[in-house]
Structure 1
Amino acid sequence: MIIVALDPPQNVDVEKWIKIRYDELKEYVQGFKIGVPAIIRVGLEGLSKIFKDYSGLLIADLKLADIGDVMALTASIVGDYGFNAVIAHAFVGYSQAVDELSKTCEKKGLKLILVVSMSHRGSEEFIDKHLESFVEIAKRVGSWGLVAPATRPLIIKRVRELIGSEVKILSPGIGVQGAEPGTAICYGADYEIVGRAITHSENVKQSALKIIENQKQRVAKCRG
């Protein structure tokens, strides 16, 4: 299960860059994740036109980390432009923060995805030390999904133990950051997030199909 991170490089026509990759990949992957730089460069209206007929996961990767009112308003706005999921940080806490965001997501039909660990080494300095507390926040608000890194699969395993089987785990770090396709799923993730290994390749479709096949092979092996 693949979610493609659409993070355009500098010095490209961003709207065209995203549309080409969306058209090439939409039949083969389960969703797309759009980060802050691309949202700023293309704009919500431009993105809504590109993805207007898409029924898969369309994630606004804003990594929201503010008071509840601000996060709720931001989620409401992106929902109006066709996004059906939003990523926020759990570290801002529950009261007057993630609790208010979750209520807005429920009203707008948005899937709330909370970051409980990240794929870079700096996550170990603070975020990972509070992993269990962040997972508890996700439980309290009924989060649809959690972000945990493919680069540290034992974190994924621990998150799955803590959260149970119903909540989705999305794992970034496949490809350029070093994790092999299928690794995160073998440790309990539902989706692997892949960016540059697909989107910056010369043949986007071929690269995606190769990663999907590698993922299937590794998962088949680890699950026996």
Structure 2
Amino acid sequence: MLKGRIIFSMDEEIPQHVLLKISGYFHGIKIGYPLLLRKGIDGVKEILRKLEINEIIMDLKLADIDNTMINIVKQLDFANSFIAHSFIGIDGALGELKNFLDNNGKKLYLLASMSHKGWNDDFYPYIKTVIKSLNPYGIVAPATKPNVIRIVRDDFPDKIIISPGVGAQGGKIGDALCNGADYEIIGRTIYTSSDPENKVKEIIKIQEEKINECKKTST
């Protein structure tokens, strides 16, 4: 089965047989508050139990003191990775969280920017220093801001970049990949489709076409 450069943002539950059928096309699945609060920890575990997926990412946008964040991630040990806000700083917060995750074989993604209009990218110089100091596994940069993705890729050439905001929020499929992202985070476009499997195949095709176009224009 051909895998796309897709992380499925599963904010809504979809039928298990459909999820089993389409999960093989994904690199990973991202779980946020909507599904976690609706189904609970055990319910989310049950949904994920039969899936063969490379990465389960918990997107709780952690932003608290170290002890609180560590207590949260301890309860979500089924996940491989966690997303946290960069702006909370290192001492007494992200530094201790990063150490805990490292010691337990888990990954940390830090937000470089967000996809909504109200986010102020004037904070990026500070956020960049936090990311450089912490050396997380990956970075979140929005598909709605291709210029930000390019900046983040230039600043962090060796980091995994994942990009939300594709589809419903206005980012076009494949554009984030062309600008330096490794994976596009896509949710509503898939789970609101009447035929999720064909929609995923369509997304993969568009991604491949966009990447090929980018390669041609860059040579």
Tell me if both proteins adopt one fold, taking TM over 0.5 as the criterion: yes
Percent identical pairs in the alignment equals 36
Q: 2: distance between equivalents of 1:203 and 1:141?
A: 41
Q: 1: distance between equivalents of 2:11 and 2:47?
A: 15
TM-fit CA distance, 1:211: 0.7
CA displacement, residues 4-37 of structure 1 (integer Å, 9 cap, x when unaligned): 10111xxxxx4xx263443132111111101112
Q: 1:109 and 2:102 equivalent? A: no
Q: How many residues align?
A: 211
TM-fit CA distance, 1:138: 1.7
| 1:156 counterpart SS class | helix
Q: 2: distance between equivalents of 1:18 and 1:84?
A: 23
Which blocks of at least 5 consecutive residues in structure 1 are unaligned? 9-13
| 1:192 counterpart SS class | strand
Aligned to 1:48: 45
Aligned to 2:150: 157
Which range moves more in the overlay, 135-144 or 18-27? 18-27
CA contact (8 A) 1:174 1:180 kept: yes
Match of 1:19 among 12, 16, 19: 16
Which blocks of at least 5 consecutive residues in structure 2 are unaligned? none
The CA RMSD over aligned residues, in Å, is 1.3
- TM-score normalised over the length of structure 1: 0.90
Aligned to 2:207: 215
Q: 2: distance between equivalents of 1:195 and 1:153?
A: 19
Match of 2:27 among 11, 27, 30: 30
CA displacement, residues 101-152 of structure 1 (integer Å, 9 cap, x when unaligned): 101111121110111100000113xxx1111221221222220111111001
CA contact (8 A) 1:24 1:204 kept: no
